Amino acid sequence: MGSRWALGGKNVHTLVFEAGRPARIDSYADATGPVGVAGRQAGIRSSIGTPIIVEGRLWGAMSAGSIEQPLPADTEERLAQFTELVATAIANAESRAGLTRLAEEQAALQRVATLVACGSPSEELFAAVPGEVGRLLQAGQTAMIRYETDGTATLVAAWSRTGDAAPLGARERLGGNNLTTIIWQTSRPARIDSYANASGAPAAVARKVGFRSAAGAPVIVRGRLWGAMIAGSVDEQPLGPGTEARLASFTELVATAISNAENLAELTASRARVVAAADETRRRIERDLHDGAQQRLVSLGLALRIAQAEVPPQLGELESELGRVADGLASVQEDLREMAHGIHPAILAQGGLGQALKILARRSAVPVKLDVRGVARLPERIEVAAYYAVSEALTNAAKHAHASVIQVQAQTAEGALQLRVRDDGAGGADPVRGSGLLGLKDRVEALGGTLEVTSPAGSGTTLLIEIPVEGQRSALPPEP
């Protein structure tokens, strides 16, 4: 069982293959070809064969041989009755196998689609897809590669039946006759049935990890070639027909996930730019107010005080009036200073987040229990976002919650700034309907953070905020 011969020459199996009809050879003395030689060596004197036709295609043949007398004249007809039954059994078995393969493929696609729908990180998706593809196609190894702009390809994910996959991050120059380069040049599915004569750096890597043959499909993201999914066989038997089409079902899902991730990254970057521009605008306004209007008010106030001091004693009423104007001017100056601090709190640049939150707590209309121990200096954009988050929470608690106390906790842990603001007020806050909370959510998420609001009616409101510190711009030096 399992013996394999090349067709050709004069023998029953070749005659059936060429004609698709029953065939007879009454003397194997003149038989030729590998099958004919094997028949003589087995002692066969004569032989007949009938085709096995499965769903209209020639699947194989049933043969009978004699080592003595030639077989009777009606042997072909009688043998054909058996081949019809065999063909029916094969068709049924293939149908069941096809349904099984379809079910397995749909299950694998569903698992990948679930990862895509849940917005799983690209690293998690890349780690899962090659294994799903390899097990489904019964491949020896699978690989996902990304095409770079400099004419190279990077291995971003891999799976091996034996665990001997190429190292992730490997980068090879494209060129030569190999599947990676062919897909890069054509943006179409392709296959190579033998890597023996393949050339180029990707071919050398493929042979090193044991590829004998391979099939691949491109990953097209928003109309551009992003990369490719490749399945390789490490056995003599090439991958089955249709492998490229089956791969394409997975590459479409991968392309969707990559597109989603790119869109999210672009949105996050855009939101970050908007927030940074708004912060810079606030800084400029605060600086202009301080250097312009506030300085002029200070000068006018000093001039009024000088004029007030020079008023003769007999003009006491004028002196009092100038004093009232000077006091009013000082009050306007204080109001302007408070407005400037509201636009961009200068205390952040001077004392950091901890000092700024202490000032917010002192100004709050509701008593605040503040715990900011261990919070060192952080990147400016994080401190600004945290300051406004706490400021908004304190304002909301004072205006809407009717709270008697507010607890504010801040700490840095696990590479992130964590804020918890809790009041004992009426609860029932809805972040969807509140523009202030929506703005805070946008600001926090623009920095890659999260904002969670818990506000059951009658049980107070809790804001949990987490902003990653790693990856942001460098923090200011620690406080002395």
The pLDDT, as a whole number, for residue 260 is 75
The residue-averaged pLDDT of 243-256 equals: 80
pLDDT score of 84 more than 80: yes
Question: What mean pLDDT do residues 32-41 have?
Answer: 86
Whether 269 shows a pLDDT value over 70: the answer reads no
Question: Which of 170-184, 274-288, 346-360, 405-419 is predicted least confidently?
Answer: 274-288
Q: What is the mean pLDDT of residues 107-123?
A: 71
Name the 3-class secondary structure at 352.
Answer: helix
**Mean pLDDT within 309-331:** 81
461 near 401, Cβ under 8 Å?
A: yes
215 pLDDT above the threshold of 50? yes
Q: What percent of the chain has pLDDT over 90?
A: 13
Please compute the mean of the pLDDT values over residues 67-92 and round it to a whole number: 84
pLDDT of 449 strictly over 50: yes
Please give the Cα distance from 478 to 468 (Å, whole number): 18
Question: pLDDT at position 415, please?
Answer: 86
Q: What's the mean pLDDT in 200-217?
A: 86
Residues 122, 125, 130, 131, Cα dihedral to 10°: 150
Residue for token pair 């096809």: 98
pLDDT value, residue 152: 93
Contact yes or no for 214/203 (Cβ under 8 A): no
Mean pLDDT of 64-85: 85
Q: Rounded CA gap, 354 and 104, in Å? A: 57
What is residue 157's predicted lDDT score, i.e. its pLDDT? 85
**What per-residue confidence (pLDDT) applies to 356?**
85
| Whole-number CA gyration radius for the chain | 40
| Integer angstrom CA distances of residue 361 from 28, 357, 390 | 105, 6, 9
Q: pLDDT: is 283 or 405 the higher one? A: 405
What is the C-alpha separation between 386 and 353, in angstroms, rounded? Answer: 8
Q: Average the pLDDT over 197-208 and give the result.
A: 87
pLDDT-derived band at 477 (thresholds 50, 70, 90) equals very low
Who has greater pLDDT, 23 or 335?
23
Report the predicted TM-score, pTM, of the whole model to 2 decimal places: 0.46
Which of helix, strand or coil describes residue 344? coil
- How large is the average pLDDT for residues 388-408? 86
Is the per-residue pLDDT at 9 higher than 80?
Answer: yes
C-alpha 1 chain-centroid distance: 48
Q: Is the pLDDT of residue 68 over 60?
A: yes
Which of 33-37, 67-71, 103-107, 426-430 is the most confident on average?
33-37
Residue 474: pLDDT over 50? no
Amino acid type, 67: I
Q: Which of 127-131, 227-231, 272-276, 314-318 tops mean pLDDT?
A: 227-231
Mean pLDDT confidence for 161-175: 81
pLDDT in tens, 337-372: 666 655 556 667 778 888 888 888 888 888 999 998
